[in-house]
Amino acid sequence: MSNNLPAVSIEAVTSGLASAGYIASPQIATAVYLAERIEKPILVEGPAGVGKTELAKALAAWRGLKMIRMQCYEGLDEAKALYEWKYAKQLLYTQILKDKLGEVLGGAETLSAALDRLHDFGDVFFSKEFVEPRPLLQALEQAKGCVLLVDEIDKSDAEFESLLLEILSDYQISIPELGTIAAVVKPTVILTSNGERDLSDALKRRCLHLHIGFPEQKLEERIVESRVPGISQSLRGQIVGFINQVRALDLKKLPSVSETIDWARVLVLLQSSELDHETVKDTLNVLLKYEADIETTMPQVTSFVAKAGRQGVFG
């Protein structure tokens, strides 16, 4: 389905994202729907691995649009995010055109006459030919529109946020030498943040704010179902039940959806039909990324497995 019309209803968004393999909660679907309707960027916050980036990918896949990704990091600046002049090309062209310039200016008697002639040619070297578009400018130039993902905006400097404001509110970029470049088709913008630092109010004000937390048990089971085909329903229930209990512990890094999916894949590969504490203990390192966390969880595994098993039977 590749059209640029906004979705007709929230249900359409849910089913559309589902067709791209993304099971969205009602909040997420509402956010995407509203973002298209009132043409606002979405700022997605939440712990790592709950599918913030995935949302942008799924949206692009569903819409059949190109996804342009802009990974943020400390020290990211204008030249890497917006545009840059192709200095080497400019230099090369001046070298090549030297003779031509000589011809043009040859007739001029005085210096000021030569200058006048030069002015007649305008800013040849500062034209669009010599602009190297970076992700943000690329996103505006897409003829069919696109999904622009500004990933991990909290990693960038505060100055970079201000740089984004123009593109977020007006979908345009001002280049001093060229003027303002507006979007051909307004892109759908998704910003993600892990909450490493507080973003400025100015940025937040321009966005819809979506917080994705850990999904509810039912929803997570559906996510696993769509991402790991061939997993039995009982195992799915047990995995999700187990992980939900792990999330209640005091851990350095709680396992999120991406870990659930990885773990489910591992268990399918190991051809386990059911959770037993031996397998869990062997594969716990897929789920937990710190030695200390594994140590905390290890003694609890047996009771968690038993409880998850019971849930699988009755729930």
Partner 1 sequence: MRQELHRFFRAARGAGVRVSPAESIDAMRAVKDVGFSDRGILRDALLLTLAKSEDEKQALGNCFDLFFSQPDVKDETASEDAAESGGAHPSPGETQTGGASAPSPELGELTQMLMARDRNAIAAALANAANAASLSDIRYFTQRGIFSTRILEALGIARLRDDLDALTASNPSEAERLTAATEALRENVRDTVNQALLLYGREEAENLRHEILRNAPLARLERRQVEQMKVLIRAIARRLRERHSKPRKRQRRGHLDTRRTLRRNAAWGGVPFLTSWKRRHRDRPKIVALCDVSGSVAQVSDFFLLLIHSLHEVVDDVRSFAFSGHLIEVSDILDNKSPEEAMSEIMSKVGFGSSDYGGSFADFEKGFMASVTAKTTVIVLGDARTNNLDPRADILRRISERSKRLVWLNPEGRMAWGWGDSEMPRYAAFCSVVRQCATAKQLERAVSDIVAAYQ
212 near partner 1, judged by CB under 8 A: no
Residue type, 155: K
Minimum CB–partner distance for residue 34 and partner 1 (Å): 5
Q: What are phi and psi of 133, to 5 degrees?
A: -75, 135
For partner 1 (CB under 8 A), the number of binding residues is: 26
Q: Which stretch in 95-103, 196-204, 245-253, 276-284 sits in contact with partner 1 by CB under 8 A?
A: 196-204
Q: End-to-end CA distance of the chain, in Å?
A: 37
CA dihedral for 244, 43, 73, 138, sign (positive or negative)? positive
27 near partner 1, judged by CB under 8 A: yes
Query: Exposed, middle or buried, 156 (CB in 10 Å: 0-12/13-18/19+)?
Result: buried
Residues 146-185 that bind partner 1 (CB under 8 A): 158-159
Q: Which long-range contacts (CB under 8 A, 24 or more apart) does 9-17 make?
A: 9/33, 16/62, 16/63, 17/55, 17/58, 17/59, 17/62
Minimum CB–partner distance for residue 168 and partner 1 (Å): 12
Return the number of the residue (158 or 270) whose C-beta is nearest partner 1.
158
Return the number of the residue (109 or 201) whose C-beta is nearest partner 1.
201
Quick one: which H or E segment has residue 104? helix 98-106
216 near partner 1, judged by CB under 8 A: no
Return the number of the residue (26 or 64) whose C-beta is nearest partner 1.
26
Residue type, 168: L
At a CB cut-off of 8 Å and minimum separation 6, what does 271 contact? none
Q: Which stretch in 35-43, 97-105, 127-135, 255-263 sits in contact with partner 1 by CB under 8 A?
A: 35-43
Q: How far is CA 152 from the centre of its chain?
A: 8
> Binding pattern to partner 1, positions 49-88, x when CB under 8 A?
--------------------------------------xx
Single out the residue of 12, 18, 21, 30 in contact with partner 1 (rule: CB under 8 A): 30
201 near partner 1, judged by CB under 8 A: yes
Single out the residue of 12, 34, 97, 165 in contact with partner 1 (rule: CB under 8 A): 34
Q: How far apart are CA 235 and CA 54, in angstroms?
A: 24
User: Pairing between strand 83-85 and 131-133?
Assistant: antiparallel
Return the number of the residue (207 or 301) whose C-beta is nearest partner 1.
207
233 near partner 1, judged by CB under 8 A: no
- Find, among 313, 302, 292, the residue nearest to 242 by Cα: 302
Return the number of the residue (54 or 161) whose C-beta is nearest partner 1.
161
∠ CA 165-40-177 to the nearest 5 degrees? 35
Tell me how long the chain is: 315
Minimum CB–partner distance for residue 175 and partner 1 (Å): 17
Q: Which residues bind partner 1 (CB under 8 A)?
A: 10, 26-27, 30-31, 33-34, 37-38, 40, 43, 45, 87-88, 91, 158-159, 197-198, 201, 204-205, 208-211
